[in-house]
Structure 1
Amino acid sequence: MNEDITLTLTTDEVAMLVDALEVDLEGYLESSKEAESTGNRSEVKTFNDAALRIQTLMAKLQEYVPE
């Protein structure tokens, strides 16, 4: 199911994706904190795993965003 794809994006489009991922990341980190406060370890792991995957993708994309 994990197939490589090729896309052509402008740097503005990549920057938009990075911004959206940052918001998504914040949501997962907040959800992880909430799950931790209620002692739900499985949700903490799920949210932390999602946050890590988002951070990894953001790192790949950020190299294409001009400063």
Structure 2
Amino acid sequence: MTDSINISLSSDEIEIIVDALEADLEGYVEAAKEARGNNNREDVTTFTEAATRIQTLMSKLQDLVED
């Protein structure tokens, strides 16, 4: 894992980032579905991993806003 970076963000800024991540997540989910349909297991793995990492980050950010 990479080094941690500390930055200050407002709740609104975090919500903007979460919205952008949601759009990105949707793209990876769709790409994984396409890859699955094309029987391309390597791409399915890659896109699924990316979607999982985005979901994890989104959850962390949403937890910060909900506190």
TM-score range normalised by the length of the shorter chain: over 0.9
1:21 matched to 2:12? The reply is no
Report how far residue 64 of structure 1 moved. Answer: 2.2
Please give the alpha-carbon distance, in whole angstroms, between the structure 2 residues aligned to 1:53 and 1:43.
15
Provide TM-score, normalisation by structure 2.
Answer: 0.93
Q: Which has the higher helix share?
A: 2
Report deviation, 1:63: 1.2
C-alpha distance in 1 between matches for 2:62 and 2:6: 17
Distance of 2:16 and 2:10 partners within structure 1: 10
1:40 corresponds in structure 2 to: 40
Encode CA deviations 1:10-36: one digit per residue, 9 max, x unaligned: 000000000000000000000000000
Aligned mates of 2:63, 2:6 — CA distance in 1: 17
Q: Distance in 2 between matches of 1:57 and 1:33?
A: 21
Partner of 1:61: 61
Structure 2 Cα separation of the partners of residues 38 and 6 of structure 1:
41
Q: Which residue of 2 aligns with 1:2?
A: 2
Runs of 4+ in 1 over 2 A off after TM superposition: none
Which blocks of at least 5 consecutive residues in structure 1 are unaligned?
none
